Amino acid sequence: MKRCIVLSIVLFIVSGCGALRFEPSEAEKQNALLHQRTAFAAAWQAKSENSSQQLRGLTELSELQSRAFVGYYGLPKEPVEADTVENILCESNTALAKQAADESVQRPDVWDIADGTLNLAIGIAAIFGGVYGTRALKFLQDAKDKACALREVVKGNELFKQQNKAYAASFKESQANQSATTKQLVTRIKSET
């Protein structure tokens, strides 16, 4: 039984985060709801103005599609005021749409994700306990501590090189004998910080 649980956890970690998503911000939730209301108003306006069948069909489809966005993002704590076309087209809603667009391209820090994943694994190992749980707990805590230490050392080294430009060449020369794996790891950490 324990082997099945451990195997499931390992498969979850190895499979990656493709099935996970990060919670949308309040602005993104408000924007999704605003989009739905905008699409509804556009469809109603196109119908009331007796627009072409093609335009009415497009706006109706857009309104239907926008329901999925609200379903995916969830309802905001504070809904935007968008009961009329004038409310929808106000400057604050334009600013909200821009803010949501900016937030949507931001990604969480890789180190925070790794730290959270290790904490989750540590918690799971602690729950199952026993000899294997204790060993896994020690291994995972050690991996977390080493990852944190490595990140701190790389950040400290980069700060040293920036503040002491005269010693930067000597510093780089002293690191020349690192293994290829270490160099790749340090390069990845530098690019993520």
Residue pLDDT, tens place only, 31-68: 999 999 999 999 999 999 999 999 999 999 999 999 99
| Tokens found for residue 31 | 């924007």
**Minimum mean pLDDT range among 9-18, 83-92, 121-130, 177-186:** 9-18
The verdict on 28 and 81 lying in the same domain is yes
Q: Choose between 76 and 185: higher pLDDT.
A: 76
* Token digits of residue 172: 């780089």
Return the C-alpha torsion angle 171, 176, 177, 180, nearest 10. Answer: 120
Give the tens place of pLDDT for each residue, 129-181. 777 777 777 787 788 788 788 888 888 888 888 888 888 888 888 888 888 88
126 within domain boundaries:
yes
Structural domain for 53, as ranges: 18-104
Confidence of residue 19 (pLDDT cuts 50, 70, 90): very low
% of the chain exceeding 70 in pLDDT: 85
Question: Which residue, chain included where needed, has tokens 């497009």?
Answer: 58
* 10 within domain boundaries: no
Structural domain tally of the chain?
2
Q: Among 104, 133, 163, where does a domain finish?
A: 104
Which of 104, 133, 150 terminates a domain? The answer is 104
Q: Are residues 28 and 89 in the same domain?
A: yes
Residues 76 and 115 in one domain: no
